[in-house]
Structure 1
Amino acid sequence: MCGQKTEAKKETKETKAEPQYIRIPKGCVNVIVDTTKISYVDPKGQITIIRGYRIDDLGKHASFEEAAYLVLFGRLPCEDELKEFSKKLNSERWLPVKVIDALKQIPPFAHPMFYGSYGLLLLGMYDPDEGDLSIDKLYDRAIRIIAKLPLLFINGWHLSRYGRLIEPDRSLNHAKDVLRMIRGGNMPTDTEARAFESSLVLYMDHGFNASTFTTRVIASTLSDMYSAIAGAIGALKGPLHGGANQKAIEMLLEIGSPENVRWYVEEKLKRHEKIMGFGHRVYKLHDPRTDVLREWLEKLAETSGEAKKFLDMINELEKTMWELKRIPSNIDLYTGALYYLLKIPKEFYTPIFAIGRVVGWTAHYIEQVSNNKIIRPKEDYDGPRGLTYKPLEERCKR
């Protein structure tokens, strides 16, 4: 009887049907891969949500600390919670001496995004609990990474180019001090600081974009948070994801004036070239984040002729691109102009994107490992079959 039962089990196992695979479009276009409570990106651009709040509402009103608390913990903080969170964030705004020494060794021609990924991996080595996935440790680690990532970018930049260490000023809030340090210690006005802070909030999270999905893939293996965020930075470094704001300002400077816009666009389109700062993988009608940044450009244009010129060019670009291609502008067109007006080196625009988005990355890491299944899709092999190994001397006979 035992033998018969074993045989029956064997037969069932061997005759088990192949799994039914689901073929999805290349690039996972229009594919939902998981659920999240963090953010939702509406393709129509009418109601993009972070933890239940409209992204434009947060961009207009929330401080960096308020928005970061919301993204991490799922609700806006009370006064005492905000004070405690701000205090924790502030206390982590420092770097180990040996990490600073390592940043000095980076060559000045290196892409600035390397400062963040390289520095984070170093920080992970200094964390004795880096593999501890208990919830309190995860939130502590998230706050540590959010606080230290700007210092890695900023000091990687200033140390490798100018040999200068830029120390944080803990009397300032996170966003204002980050802008001050990026500018080498040049204190921003309150208007400049708030415009910059607004852009960080708008960049904070945005659905399952490439870098966020990278975070979740790495998290799903139960690798550490430092490695996951370093991977996300690598994804954001790609010009199809994070580099568009730098390209957008380069385009605006090349155009030079509103009168040149239509000719420029038509010539680019004739050569089938992209117009930077336009189009989006999800948004097809409108990017609601642009509404908030437009208000900041309008405010700056009240006292700056250069800001007014950029705004006039953007207006003409949006009008022309909608007329010719029905393609809306995206946030990168606006942040490109804003960061230029804030006297930020254009090579630093993508690191700023990461300084805002790191809040979302850490939140997605925590969400992934808290309800985890390793992300492992099936491939569709389309290569040769049936080849056999040949010794080296027989491989390349002619």
Structure 2
Amino acid sequence: MVTVPKQAPRQSLTVVDNRTNKVYELPIKHNSVLATDIKKIKSQAGDDRKEDETEQGLRVFDPAYMNTAVVESKITYINGLDGILRYRGYPIEQLVKKSDFLESAFLLIYGELPTKNQYSNWQNEIMHHTYIHSDIEGIFKSFRYDSHPMSMLTSSFATLGAFAPEANPSLRGQKLFTNAASGDPAALQILDKQILRIIGKAPTLAAASYRMRQGRPFNRPAQGLSYTGNFLYLLDHLSGTEYRPHPVLEKALDALFIIHADHEVNCSTATVLQVGSSLVDPYSVVSAGCAALYGPSHGGASESAIRMLMEIGSPENVPAFMAQVEKRERVLVGFGHRVYKNVDPRSTAIRELAEQVFQVTGRNKLLDTATTLADYARKSEFMRSRNLYPNVDFYSGLIYQAMGFPLDFYPVLFAVPRCVGWLAHWRQMMLNPSGVKIWRPRQLYLGEGEREYVEADKRKEKANATPFDAPVEVHHGGDSKRNRLASYKDAAGHTRDRAKL
């Protein structure tokens, strides 16, 4: 502990390097210090390894970005301790009650709520871009009948980019989108056009993945319906005319889309920014976001939460299940959050939606189990001490199930609205006046030091080898076994005879 003489407060951090006794004063801006300022703290290598690169400056080790700010953003604000979520300053609770998805999407991307004229133009443009090329439908038909919808959606976004060569910086020049930062009207136009296309086509692609799983023909987008109304039409319409989704379900899905539209620099958004920093096209960027969202620790959590509730079965089984959780024998899904150390504000808004949906669909059979589990969590010291409260995934899954969506479609229902958040952050990055720097995190290398190459006949088995030090044995199907017993000539003309006679 170093005692610093008392003086007038200033926005800086004083650091004493005990290796050199040098004192550094690092500026504090927005309650943060620059990692590159910390790199200025250098020392001669002592007992360090050469690979520690001590003379090149101090590094910040932050596994999983537990406390690293990677961007300056004006889009979404989260206060995890107080349970606050705001889009461009507007509390999520207000937007869910008063706004609709396309209006909130405009807000997230462009910074302000649209005027009536702006909203009308925005809605018309989005709905004008809902159709997809018929060849993309053919690509959906090439998937296996049991492919996961998120796999199909991830692939289809990447495919969509192949149908928009004019929006590919690898073909049109790497400054195709970054030129927009200087106000170049042509660059702004190409940038915003891709945003319209992705938001407009997202429900069409998502519905195609659903219809593919159902073995049903694809619908064409319906003009005159709302964004979520059209989505439900694409999913469900079979025959007849003047199809209209139930207004309560349409409104509930629209509200859920608002809730899921953005959540600051989460795993998938960080992926979008990481990939986008290479200046690749936005379709590849969104596809990468889908891949990240697909994981059970992210967008797949609502599906996992329902599977957990189904496994618990009934309210009387909750205490026994929680006893296993407290012994760390089971994983509790749908509770707690990386950011929120209080009640997730999204879960509060969703609870009200759930009641409205259940009045139309009937009460979800898992609701009693979910309520008992939430009540147990509220009273449990184990849960309170770890800030484990129901999160957005816990309640959204109950609504999706009541609305009749299959479990594996839940992440897709997350991905469609999250395209807006991803595009808002991608656009903000492209419009950075100082340019886009490719993301390149550092590492702490803990592996072997420099070694000399050893010829194959002189190598020895590693002492104290573990199962992680070589490939495990892989078991193949019967046809592979038959092939191993056959003889043949390879491409170089060599006879291969492994038959065991």
| TM superposition score normalised by structure 2 | 0.72
Looking at structure 1, the residues matched to 156 and 246 of structure 2 have their Cα atoms a distance apart, in angstroms, of 30
Query: Contact between 1:118 and 1:230, CA under 8 Å: does it hold in 2?
Result: yes
Which of 400, 404, 407 aligns to 1:346? It is 407
Letter in 1 for 2:272: T
Q: Cα RMSD (Å) of the superposition?
A: 2.1
Aligned runs of 1:262-341 on 2, under 5 Å? 262-302=319-359, 305-307=362-364, 310-324=366-380, 325-326=383-384, 327-341=388-402
Match of 2:77 in 1: 40
Match of 1:165 in 2: 218
Letter in 2 for 1:124: G
Letter in 2 for 1:369: M
Query: Contact between 1:106 and 1:160, CA under 8 Å: does it hold in 2?
Result: no
Letter in 1 for 2:413: I
Query: Contact between 1:298 and 1:311, CA under 8 Å: does it hold in 2?
Result: no
CA deviations 1:332-371 (Å, max 9, x no partner) are: 0111000011111111000110001110001111111222
Looking at structure 1, the residues matched to 293 and 75 of structure 2 have their Cα atoms a distance apart, in angstroms, of 19
Greater relative contact order, per chain length (Cα 8 Å cut-off, separation 6+): 1
Q: Please, which moves more after superposition, 176-185 or 56-65?
A: 176-185
Query: Contact between 2:334 and 2:392, CA under 8 Å: does it hold in 1?
Result: yes
Match of 1:179 in 2: 232
CA deviations 1:51-79 (Å, max 9, x no partner) are: 11111211222111101111111111111
- Between Structure 1 and Structure 2, how many residues are aligned? 382
Looking at structure 1, the residues matched to 269 and 363 of structure 2 have their Cα atoms a distance apart, in angstroms, of 35
CA deviations 1:228-271 (Å, max 9, x no partner) are: 11111111111111111011122223333334333332234335
Letter in 2 for 1:373: K
Letter in 2 for 1:96: H
CA deviations 1:190-229 (Å, max 9, x no partner) are: 0111111111110000010010001111111111111111
Q: Please, which moves more after superposition, 149-158 or 50-59?
A: 149-158
Match of 2:37 in 1: none
Deviation at 1:380, TM superposition (A): 0.8
- The 3-state SS of whatever aligns with 2:404 is coil
Which structure features the higher share of helix residues?
A: 1
1:374 aligned to 2:411? no
Query: Contact between 2:126 and 2:196, CA under 8 Å: does it hold in 1?
Result: yes
1:105 aligned to 2:142? yes
State the identity %.
31
Unaligned 5+ segments in structure 2 are 1-43, 45-53, 170-175, 178-186, 463-501
CA deviations 1:86-125 (Å, max 9, x no partner) are: 1111011111011111111011222211222211111111
Which structure features the higher share of strand residues?
A: 2
1:136 aligned to 2:192? no
Unaligned 5+ segments in structure 1 are 1-14
1:126 aligned to 2:163? yes
- The 3-state SS of whatever aligns with 1:41 is strand
Query: Contact between 1:103 and 1:160, CA under 8 Å: does it hold in 2?
Result: no
Match of 2:252 in 1: 195
Deviation at 1:329, TM superposition (A): 0.7
Computing the radius of gyration from Cα coordinates, the structure with the larger value is 2
CA deviations 1:297-316 (Å, max 9, x no partner) are: 12234455524x54443332
Match of 1:360 in 2: 421
Match of 2:113 in 1: 76
